[in-house]
Amino acid sequence: MSKNQAILFNLITILGVLTGSALSGQVLPKKESLSDTVNLSSMKIPPLGQLIESAQAFSPLLEEQSAMIAMRQWQIKSANYDWGRYVLFFSEFRYGTVDVLVGTASQLTVSPIGSAYYNVGTRLQLSIFDALDLKQKRKVAQSMLSYEEKKREDLKRMIQDDVIRLWNKLLSYREIMLINEDHVAAQNDNIFYAEQQFKAGDIPLVEYARIKEISIKAQQEYELAKKEFREAYYLLESLVGKDFTTLSPKH
């Protein structure tokens, strides 16, 4: 290899390192980069059903909605007991004297006798307007409860859809990352042999530059795949509200 070829070879190598570093923000050696991929790909992903259940249990929105339903249930009970304020309890006690006729048919006399009277009971004082008002209150309270329960089910479905969407993305990103891992490993082998061939003068500089460009592109796609996998992984963990290591791994 001539001096000019050596200069161009070093220049291409430097440009390749700089280009590969632009995406990741740092220069990673080949072994460290592949090791990082292995660590990411070995991250266990819990089963979908468990993730949905955990996300719904963790959701602050669902917790707030459950509290709202409890309040509506209390309002129904309160409306059912409203009639109690129209029931009146009373007691009554009377004492006096009663004149009684005493004697025979030919001779009657008036004799006063003491008398006591005691009465206890209840009385319902409810107008037609009040009865209709109570019925309407119960109807409104039941309608509000049904609305809140439907809203809770809608929230559960929304959380379920979000988990399914992120879970599928995560699995896809992991597969893409593994494919890119194999591609990077293959391109590293190609560039190694291309360097040897170029130094021996078996291939021209243009061919070496082409192989180097393919290797750089493979590295960039690999870094992007890792980024997308990490992002989907931690977003799903945040939605679920638990570290995946505390859940039963499946994938």
Domain boundaries, the chain: 3-82+128-246, 86-124
pLDDT at 31: 37
User: Do the beta carbons of residue 212 and residue 188 sit within 8 Å?
Assistant: no
pLDDT at 56: 93
Q: Which residue has the higher pLDDT, 6 or 178?
A: 178
How far lies 66's CA from each of 79, 83, 124, 145, 155, in Å? 20, 28, 37, 11, 11
pLDDT band at 173; cut points 50, 70, 90: very high
- Which residues lie below 8 Å from residue 200, measured CB to CB, with a gap of 6+? 1
Indicate the average pLDDT of the chain. Answer: 75
Q: In percent, how much of the chain has pLDDT > 90? A: 33
Token pair of 206 as six digits: 């243009």
Lowest mean per-residue pLDDT among 7-21, 36-50, 119-133, 189-203: 7-21
pLDDT tens across 115-154, in order? 555 555 555 555 565 556 667 777 888 888 899 999 999 9
Query: CA-to-CA distance for 28 and 55, rounded, in angstroms?
Result: 36
Q: Which of 231, 230, 221, 219 is nearest to 29 (CA)?
A: 219
pLDDT at 53: 93
Token pair of 47 as six digits: 């089963």
Pick the CATH number of 3-82+128-246 from 1.20.1600.10, 3.40.50.300, 1.25.40.10, 3.20.20.70: 1.20.1600.10
pLDDT band at 19; cut points 50, 70, 90: very low
For residue 86, the 8-state DSSP code is G
pLDDT tens across 181-223, in order? 999 999 999 889 988 888 888 889 888 889 889 999 999 999 9
pLDDT at 158: 95
pLDDT tens across 86-109, in order? 555 555 556 555 555 555 555 656
pLDDT at 123: 55
- The four Cα atoms 20, 26, 30, 31 give a dihedral, to 10 degrees, of -160
Identity at 166, one-letter amino acid code = L
For residue 84, the 8-state DSSP code is G
Query: CA-to-CA distance for 219 and 26, rounded, in angstroms?
Result: 13
Lowest mean per-residue pLDDT among 20-24, 53-57, 64-68, 199-203: 20-24
